Amino acid sequence: MKAKQIIVEGIHFRSKLEARWYLFFKKLGWNVVYEPEIEGLTGWIPDFLIIGKEKKILVDIKPIDKIEEWDNHPDRFKIENSGVANLNYEILILGTNLMLDGNDQMGILYPIDGFWPEGREKDKSDTEIGEEIPKPIMDHNITRTIFSRDDDQYGFIDILGSWHCRITGEGGKVYLSSRSHDNPDYKKIDTMWNEAWSELRWKGKEIK
C-alpha cells in the first residue's frame, strides 16, 4: 500500500506513520528534528534526528511489523552503506508498533560501537539471565532497544551495552522490560502512542 502524505503542525510528512511517530516523540518530551540535513550521508535522508543529552540518533521509520522483517529489507543495505559509520551518530529503526519482538523491543538500534569492524562483544549478562536473543540481535552491529524511565522522563536504552539512556544520559535507572498489561509505565506509553494516532486523525491534512 502506497504511503499517504500528510501535513501536521505545518510539517509535510511523507507518511502517516512518520507523523504518528513525530506526535509520539513530542508526547515523550524528546527533542527531534524532521528530515535533518546531515553532511556526509549518501543516498539516505533520515526521517528524524533525536537529540539526546549525550548522543544523537538518526531515525528511519519503516512499515515493518516485526524485527525479522529488517533482516532482508531493501533499504537496509542503503542505510548501512550511507557513510553513517564514519559519523558520530547512532541509527534507530522504528516500525508500525512498539512491540517489534512481540514483547518489549521498541526499535532496532545501531550503536556507535556497532560500526567498528569487529562489531561489539556479546554482553555476558544476556547469557546469565538465560535470555535467548532473537536472530537479528545476534548481528554484532545491532542490538535490542527498550524504553526506560528516569524519574518522570521516558527514554530508551541499548540492553547489550551500558544500559545507558539515550535521552537523559543516565545509566542504571529504571529499564522497562518484560512488557505487562499491568505495568503502569507501559500503560502510559501505550496511551501516548494511541493519543498520537487520534490526534493525527483530527490534526492532519492528507495530501491528495
Domain of residue 132, residue span: 6-206
- Above 50 in pLDDT, residue 132? no
Note the pLDDT of residue 2.
73
Q: Evaluate whether residue 197 is within a structural domain.
A: yes
Q: How far is CA 178 from CA 2, 26, 152, 198, in A?
A: 34, 25, 20, 27
In a domain, residue 108? The reply is: yes
Which of 13-22, 80-89, 192-201 shows the lowest per-residue confidence on average (mean pLDDT)? Answer: 80-89
Q: Is residue 82 part of a domain?
A: yes
pLDDT tens-digit profile of 46-96?
Answer: 999 999 998 899 999 999 999 999 988 999 989 998 999 889 899 999 999
Residues present in the chain in total: 208
Whether 193 is covered by a domain: the verdict is yes
Q: Is 123 exposed, middle or buried (0-12, 13-18, 19+ CB in 10 A)?
A: middle
Please check whether residue 1 lies inside any domain of the structure. no
Q: Which amino acid is at 138?
A: M
pLDDT tens digits, 92-108: 999 999 999 998 899 99
Which range, 33-37, 103-107, 131-135, is most confident? 33-37
Are 93 and 60 within 8 A, CB to CB? yes
Domain-located, residue 143: yes
> Can you tell me the mean pLDDT for 12-16?
93
Q: Total structural domains in the chain? A: 1
Whole-model pTM? 0.86
Task: Name the strand (E) or helix (H) holding 148.
Answer: strand 143-150
